[in-house]
Amino acid sequence: AGYGVCHVPSAPGCHRVTCVTWRPRGTRRQRLLGTGGPQLRVPEVTVTGAGDRFRLRTEAAGTVRLQLAVLPRHLGRFGVAV
């Protein structure tokens, strides 16, 4: 389990997106016992960039590869160019 951020393409069609994930490192005891690992206290305030992540002690959690089918609709209303 971990956290990751990636951008969803606004162009129509099928896209492959790679999302690098990370997780809080936790204490030595948590790592030895393997108790599910630490979590962010407020997940809604997630770290969105590498600069924000440097405030935390983290470790790599793997890579997630996504295949997305994007069907844009009404994106112009929100200022997104297609």
pLDDT in tens, the chain (82 residues): 788 888 888 888 999 999 998 887 767 776 666 665 666 665 555 555 555 555 677 788 899 999 999 888 887 787 877 6
CA diameter of the chain = 51
Hey, where are the domains in the chain? 13-70
Residue 69's pLDDT is what? Answer: 94
Residue 18's pLDDT is what? Answer: 96
Residue 67's pLDDT is what? Answer: 97
Residue 38's pLDDT is what? Answer: 60
Sign of torsion, CA 25 32 21 43? negative
CA distance 67 to 82: 19
Q: The tokens of 59 are what?
A: 């470790």
